Structure formats: C-alpha cells, structure tokens
C-alpha cells in the first residue's frame, strides 16, 4: 500500500490559478450534437472561405503538408507577407506593413497571453478593459496574476469608448501597462471610432501598450481596419484572426500587427514551432486571391442575413431593441418581460428562459449576455445561414409566445385576449 502523499494542491498551486474563473461559452452547457443550430460563438455559418475542387483546397500546394515529419517554419514569413498584403490598404497611412510587423499565434488567445507575459510583471502590474467586452482579457490577466482595471463603455451612448475616463485612469495608476479595446466590440458589435483610439494613444505621460482587437473587422465597412496604423504608432498592437470572416476557427490562427520592435519581442518569447504546418498551409491558401473572393462572397451572404435579422426580429413581440451596432456577424438583442404593447422592459429572467428553451427544446443555441455591463435582458445571436435564420425566427416567436402564456417557469400568467392577439400577430 502506497504511503500517504504530503501533496496539498491548495498550497502548491498559485493562488490566482486556484481562484480562476474560466472563460465559459454556451457549449459548456449545450454540446454540438450534430442537429443543433449553433448561433452562439460567432462562427461563419457558411463555412471556410476556401474554393474546393474535387475535395482539394484551391491554392494548397501538395508539398505544404507532405513533410509532416519535419518541424514547421518557425518564422512563417510567407504567411506574414500574405497578411500584410491583405491589410496594406493605405486608408490610414502611406506606409506599408512588412513581415517584421507581425507575430502569429495559436488563435488570438496566444497573442493576448504573449502580450501580458511580455509587458506585465505578475503580482504588480495591471491591465485595463472596457466592459462589456471579450472575457478572455480578464481570464488571461488572472492566469498571469494581474489586476484588471475596468472603465466601462458608455452604455448611454451606444457603448462608445470613454477615452477621457481611460486617460484619467492611466494618469492615476502607472502600473497599468496594457489597454484592451475591442472593435467591433464583443458583444456590442459596434466599431470604436478612430479619434477615440487616437486620444488614448496620445496620452502625454503613459508608458504602455494599446491593444486593438479586430477579430470581426471584415464584417465592417471597407477601410475600417487600423492594422496598417501600427506603422505610425510605436505602442499600438492590432489583433486579428482567421476564425470569423474567413471561417477557419478550427485551424486556430491569430495575428498581431505592431511595430518591428514589439513583434520581435513577441517572436522571441513564443514556442519555437507554435504554428503547425497544416495550419500555415490552410491560412496561406485562404489568403490567395481566388479564396479571398470565396470569403468575400460568403461574407456578403452573412451581411444579407444580418440585415434580414435586423428587419425581422423586431416584428416578434417580446424582442426589444438592438443594443450596440451591426458591424459584425452577430447582434445583441433585448428580450422583454412582456410584449411591447404591454410596456415590456428588458428582463434577464425572460432572456435566460429564452436562451435555455431555445437550446433545450428547439435546437437553437444563442448566447445569454444579460449579466454584462449595460446588457440587461440581452442575448447575443450569431448570424446563420438563410435556413438557420428561418429556424431562429420561427422558434424565437414560439418560445416567447409560450413564456408569455405560461411564465418563464411554466406557470400560467394572466394574459388578456388583446395581448394574446399581439403575441401571435
């Protein structure tokens, strides 16, 4: 019989890891069973932006994946040049991005973590976020034993950034090293204005890095990306991903555009072969002209369905206003405690009931966001295919009708005849 070990996990592991609240998604609750309509994670419902011929990806050379017994290219110069070609639009500067301006990682999450490890000392430094925003900024900060300073977006002005408040926080606390700005916002779907970002970059005394997360930028109007702007600002980092508009969430490829000096630091601290050969090959293929055209065609279909959702969702009694913007592949939508004709107000109880019933009884998975700043009663809905949007609209109406008739807990409520007519209209 083995002797009792003196090991005590509660005393061995780092306290900040023991206290960590992990990032959660709707699929922690509702798995992909092959039949669910998944409108929760902002994936591209139309699939990869890749042209297939007899099952082979157009632009994917055979030798790219033939040598899997060899380690991948540690520098990824070809991939970086293709990313530069994509973002050298000269909408914001006459200067051009070069591979020296890039770090590529295993999704944007590696970029987020690498920046923290590069600039922040655990237990001492801090990062600043503007909620509601992407949850992994705070999770990664906690993993690295960093305090998170929160300067919420202006919920009275459609989730605009508050650059004056951010600058005040930076002036009063020199331990803040990184400011994360998500544009288009998640879950708000609105672009942060260039002047607001510039105001933070122009802080007269702060010595830190502004990280602009543009994961959804390809769903925004042409010229919205500020990636090439890193050639003008030495402390600007612009993160992007192939997971969204490119429909390649499964290959896990993220990128950080920044100054050559910062890019060099990030490349120095990464694992030597962090990007696999298949990932690199698929990413390079996706950035070829023929496949970029495929991506853009699918993106237009998403935009068409997004516009349709903007038109049709408000026709469902119980669906309130859209919060934020519409510059992404999802919408943040209020759910009301009763039909609009009865003076309904945004309700977390009703929104949570809609979220659960859609997933558990209707096979449609969206994302409940009601606990975030300024998002009372909100669900975030990813734009799906035409058929998926058909299903969403039908089931959303059915679920809300049932809730208003029987209550969120299944108990009957008093609904007048005129209200019932409004429900089924």
Query: What is the C-alpha to C-alpha distance for residues 328 and 218, in angstroms, rounded to an integer?
Result: 8
pLDDT number for residue 389? 97
Query: What is the C-alpha to C-alpha distance for residues 180 and 133, in angstroms, rounded to an integer?
Result: 9
Contact 130, 166 (CB under 8 A): yes
Q: What are the mean pLDDT values of the chain's consecutive 10-residue runs (425 residues total)?
A: 55 58 57 69 68 60 63 91 97 97 95 91 94 95 94 95 97 94 97 96 92 97 96 94 94 95 89 90 95 96 97 96 96 94 92 96 95 97 96 96 79 36 33
Longest dimension (CA), the chain: 75
pLDDT number for residue 418? 36
Q: Global pTM?
A: 0.85
Domains, the chain, ordered by start: 13-45+295-424 (3.90.1150.10), 71-287 (3.40.640.10)
Contact 116, 127 (CB under 8 A): yes
pLDDT number for residue 343? 85
pLDDT number for residue 229? 96
pLDDT number for residue 50? 67
DSSP-assigned letter for residue 310? H
Query: What is the three-class DSSP state of 218?
Result: helix
């Amino acid at each position: 019989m083995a002797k009792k070990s003196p090991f005590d996990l509660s005393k061995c592991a780092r306290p900040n890891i023991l206290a960590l609240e992990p990032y959660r998604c709707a699929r922690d609750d509702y798995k992909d069973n092959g039949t669910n309509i998944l409108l929760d994670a902002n994936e591209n419902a139309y699939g990869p932006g890749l042209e297939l011929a007899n099952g082979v990806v157009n632009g994917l050379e055979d030798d790219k994946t033939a040598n899997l017994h060899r380690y991948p290219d540690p520098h990824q110069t070809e991939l970086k040049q293709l990313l530069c070609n994509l973002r050298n639009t000269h909408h914001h500067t006459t200067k051009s991005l070069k591979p020296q301006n890039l770090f590529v990682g295993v999704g944007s999450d590696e970029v987020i973590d690498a920046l923290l490890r590069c600039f922040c000392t655990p237990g001492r430094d801090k990062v600043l976020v503007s909620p509601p925003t992407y949850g992994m900024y705070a999770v990664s900060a906690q993993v690295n034993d960093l305090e998170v300073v929160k300067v919420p977006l202006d919920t009275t002005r459609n989730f605009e950034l508050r650059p004056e408040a951010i600058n005040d926080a930076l002036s009063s606390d020199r331990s803040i090293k990184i400011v994360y700005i998500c544009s288009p916002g998640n879950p708000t779907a609105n672009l942060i204005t260039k002047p607001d970002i510039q105001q933070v970059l122009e802080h007269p005394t702060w010595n830190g890095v502004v990280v602009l997360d543009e994961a959804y930028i390809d769903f925004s109007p042409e010229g919205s990306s500020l990636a090439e702007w890193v050639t003008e600002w030495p402390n600007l980092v612009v993160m992007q991903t192939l997971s969204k508009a490119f429909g390649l969430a499964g290959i896990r490829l993220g990128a950080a555009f920044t100054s050559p000096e910062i890019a060099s630091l990030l490349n120095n601290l990464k694992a030597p072969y962090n990007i696999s050969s298949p990932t690199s090959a698929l990413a390079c293929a996706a950035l070829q002209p023929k496949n970029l055209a495929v991506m853009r065609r699918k993106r237009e279909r998403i935009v068409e369905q997004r516009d349709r959702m903007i038109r049709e969702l408000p026709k469902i009694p119980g669906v309130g206003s859209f919060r934020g913007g519409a510059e992404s592949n999802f919408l943040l939508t209020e759910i009301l405690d009763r039909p609009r004709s009865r003076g309904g107000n945004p309700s977390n109880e009703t929104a949570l009931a809609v979220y659960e019933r859609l997933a558990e009884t209707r096979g449609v998975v969206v994302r409940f966001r009601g606990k975030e700043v300024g998002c009372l009663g909100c669900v975030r809905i990813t734009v799906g295919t035409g058929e998926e949007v058909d299903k969403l609209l039908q089931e959303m109406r059915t679920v809300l009708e049932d809730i208003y008739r029987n209550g969120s807990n299944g108990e009957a409520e008093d609904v007048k005849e005129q209200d019932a007519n409004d429900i089924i209209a």
